[in-house]
Amino acid sequence: MAGHSKWAQIKRTKAVVDAKRGAVFTRLGREITVAARAGADPAGNFQLRTAIEKAKAAGVPNNNIERAIAKGSGQAGSGDSLEAVRYEGYGPGGVAVLVEAFTDNRNRTAADLRLVFNKAGGNLGETGCVSFLFDQRSLVRLDSEGLDEEALLEALLALEEAGGPAALQYNLDGEGVEIIGRYEDLEALQGGLRLLGLPVRSWEHRWLANTVCRIEDPDLLKAILRMLDALDDLEDVRSVTANLEAEDGLLEAALV
């Protein structure tokens, strides 16, 4: 398994049960606010519907969600100062890192990110310096309970034969199933899987590495994970993606 994927799963699990719950809520609220600029009705705004589902899954209260929608749609204050920005750089060991942020001050966000990169022995680069090492894809998660691989393959084939989007790949493990498709197919992919009766849990766009950086040194791996954690903890950061790959055992030991 790619090391970053495992790291991201652990972060998702911890994020809503530890002392950083408030920061997670703020981050998800910003995502809703930005999405609501295209319309306050989730039924006609897929981006907003996606952001709301993600917030609900994290336990964000309905009042918070409603306030974020009102702010983004101009009904209560303004969320126009927030903009989506992508930053790129290299961490220890040459690991490529993509950081997506919502910010109202690019200079402040870049300075915060540069400090974390520099402290770890990496460097924040120019836009495009590492993005060619990643592909942006659609990702739909299913609950795996009661779903065997043969039934999954039949469903994916049925979806494609009915004129729906093709799945590029899938990952089946004890935590669920991840279906990966083309970037532009996210709405059709999750909707088609739901219509087939599959247990859709969540969906999102995600950067996936097409070239990995394999790390075998335990101390170097710990340094990389500390940097990824520090980036992920920054207030403006929306997501952190790295092309890190490591053996599960080594990664789990580094995360202890």
- The residues, ordered by sequence, that sit 6+ positions from 62 with a Cβ below 8 Å of its Cβ are none
Q: How many structural domains comprise the chain?
A: 3
Give the residues across from 101 on adjacent strands: 85, 237
**Same domain (yes/no): 120, 140:** no
* Beta-ladder partners of 117: none
Would you state the structure tokens that stand for residue 111, as one six-digit string? 């300075």
- Whether 8 and 62 map to the same domain: the answer is yes
Which CATH number goes with the domain that contains 119?
Answer: 3.30.70.980
Is residue 250 a part of any domain in this protein? no
- Residues 44 and 104 grouped into a single domain: no
Same structural domain, 149 and 190 = yes
- The arithmetic mean of pLDDT across residues 138-159, rounded, is 89
The whole-model pTM stands at: 0.83
> 254 lies in a domain?
no
Say if residue 45 is in the same domain as residue 103: no
Q: Return phi, psi of residue 127, to 5°.
A: -60, 130
H-helix or E-strand containing 220? helix 218-232
At 187, the pLDDT band (50, 70, 90 cuts) reads very high
Amino acid residing at 176: G
Question: Using one digit for the tens of pLDDT, what is the confidence trace for 89-110?
Answer: 999 999 999 999 999 999 999 9
Query: Is 179 part of any domain?
Result: yes
Residue 78: predicted pLDDT = 57
- Same domain, yes or no, for 145 and 118? no
Closest CA to 98 of 108, 84, 81: 84
**Shared domain check, 217 and 190:** no
Is 79 a member of any domain?
no
The boundaries of the domain holding residue 175 are 134-209
246: Cβ contacts below 8 Å, ≥ 6 apart: 3, 214, 215, 216, 221, 254
pLDDT band at 18 (very low <50, low <70, confident <90, very high): very low
Kindly state whether residues 9 and 67 are assigned to the same domain. Answer: yes
Question: Do 10 and 121 share a domain, yes or no?
Answer: no
Residue 17 domain flag: yes
pLDDT of 5 reads 54
Does residue 256 lie in a domain region? no
Whether 255 maps to a domain, the answer reads no
Residue 53, domain member (yes or no): yes
Of 29, 79, 18, nearest in space to 235 by CA? 29
Provide φ and ψ at 196, rounded to 5°: -80, 0
Write out pLDDT tens, residues 71-93: 898 876 655 688 899 999 999 99
Looking at the structure, tell me whether residues 221 and 187 fall in a common domain: no
Name the phi and psi angles at 163, rounded to 5: 95, 5
Question: Same domain, yes or no, for 123 and 227?
Answer: yes
Domain holding 48: CATH number?
1.10.10.200
Q: Which tokens is 49 given?
A: 């519907």
Q: Read off the DSSP letter of residue 125.
A: -
Assess whether 167 and 52 both reside in one domain.
Answer: no
